[in-house]
A and B are shown apart, each in its own frame.
Chain A
Amino acid sequence: ETGVTQTPRHLVMGMTNKKSLKCEQHLGHNAMYWYKQSAKKPLELMFVYNFKEQTENNSVPSRFSPECPNSSHLFLHLHTLQPEDSALYLCASSHLTSGGGANTGELFFGEGSRLTVL
């Protein structure tokens, strides 16, 4: 496989359920991201992992819990979600420049996990 793979592609869950989204990248990148995409809104950055270390947490509610066991895998654990959390959750990866670890900007996205919270 190549690129960025996300599973599941679709998920329906109740507010009391616990589920996880999975992302895997086969590009040798050293940074991985979770984004939330809602209709007609800009992509919202949720979490960033650089070299497996979390470097960004953009005021995301604690009902979203990321996990990055290695540079190729990223999880988003979900629990007690709200209906307004229904959205497309996109995983992305990128290459960081050496030294300063600055994001080069070009992101490679997975096709997303469409989440519906009932």
Chain B
Amino acid sequence: GQNIDQPTEMTATEGAIVQINCTYQTSGFNGLFWYQQHAGEAPTFLSYNVLDGLEEKGRFSSFLSRSKGYSYLLLKELQMKDSASYLCAVLDSNYQLIWGAGTKLIIKP
């Protein structure tokens, strides 16, 4: 079966750095997405990786290793507004999105 694993919850301090990991086993691979979802709001697109390596976008970076079936989302200079759930999703060989259960990130002052 297809599976996406990510931690259920993480806590970090304002101003610090946090890394949210995602591992996947899917039928084929056509890219990995990270979405951010604030409580009571719509998920919004953060990043897309299809090749190995690090993609940087401001305070957020996303890394992919296809050989290891692994990705992480790195958030720097954490702000209180970064408190949200972060969803990892993989596009499989049929172009279907396989979703993780999400990681709830709590930022403390």
Residues of chain A having any CB pair with chain B under 8 Å: 4, 40-43, 45, 90, 102-103, 105-112
Contacts and interface: CB of A to CB of B under 8 A. Distances in A.
Given A40-B8, A43-B99, A105 B42 contact: no
B11 interface: no
B30 to A, nearest CB: 7
Please classify how large the interface on chain B is, using the bins under 10, 10 to 19, 20 to 34, 35 or more: 20 to 34
A111 B44 CA distance: 10
B42 A109 contact: yes
A112 B42 contact: yes
B48 A106 contact: yes
B100 A4 contact: no
A42 B95 contact: no
Contacts, number: 48
B75 interface: no
Say whether chain A's binding surface is mostly helix, strand, loop, or mixed: loop
A106 B91 CA distance: 10
A107 B4 CA distance: 18
A105 B91 contact: yes
Nearest to A42: B99
Contacts of B97: 43, 45, 103, 105, 107
A102 B31 CA distance: 13
Contacts of A90: 42-43
B101 A41 contact: yes
B96 A111 contact: no
B101 A110 contact: no
Contact of B43 (A41, A45, A109): A109
Interface string B3-34: 01000100000000000000000000011010
Nearest to A48: B96
Given A40-B8, A42-B101, 13 more contacts: A40-B101, A40-B102, A41-B101, A42-B99, A42-B100, A43-B87, A45-B96, A103-B97, A105-B95, A105-B97, A106-B33, A111-B40, A112-B42
